[in-house]
Amino acid sequence: MLLTSQSFPPEGEIPKKFTCDGGDINPQLEIHNVPLSAKSLALIVDDPDATGGATFTHWLVWNIDPKTTVIKQESKPPKSVQGLSDFNKPDYGGPCPPPGKKHRYFFRLYALDTILNLTTDETRANLESAMQGHIIEETELMGVYER
């Protein structure tokens, strides 16, 4: 399985329009080689370089149709569910590091052998707990941003 983006190259700079300094919209993501046995996909976007040493969650999306090949910019996959980010909203929140320090942003995609029964008020901990034992394959795409 592979996750790529026309919006930024692997380990490359995430454009401003996808950050809190721009439109704060999600970048386009392309999904390749999903296992045929996958029943759904889940996406977690996070910043492990966040202030205070705790990983900051920017986006949680699950029950993505495994036939999905593109998540378009400024959209969520049809019929998928978004959970609560660390911005305390069920939506994408773009990179927003403090000035002067480059942060890494990981887009982690999971192929699951089930469809998750979770609601939009679920946190990352709840999503990870529900995914436990159901991950068939995973991949990640990392980009960076500095203000």
Supply the pTM of this predicted model.
0.97
Residue with tokens 């920017």: 58
Domains of the chain, by residue range, sit at: 2-145
Q: What was the pLDDT predicted at 33?
A: 98
The per-residue DSSP string of 32-45 comes to E---TT-SEEEEEE
CATH code matching the domain that covers 2-145, chosen among 3.40.50.80, 3.40.50.300, 3.90.280.10, 3.30.413.10: 3.90.280.10
Looking at every residue in the chain, the average pLDDT score rounds to 96
pLDDT band, residue 53 (cuts 50/70/90): confident
Average pLDDT of the residues in 91-117 = 96
Average pLDDT over residues 12-19: 98
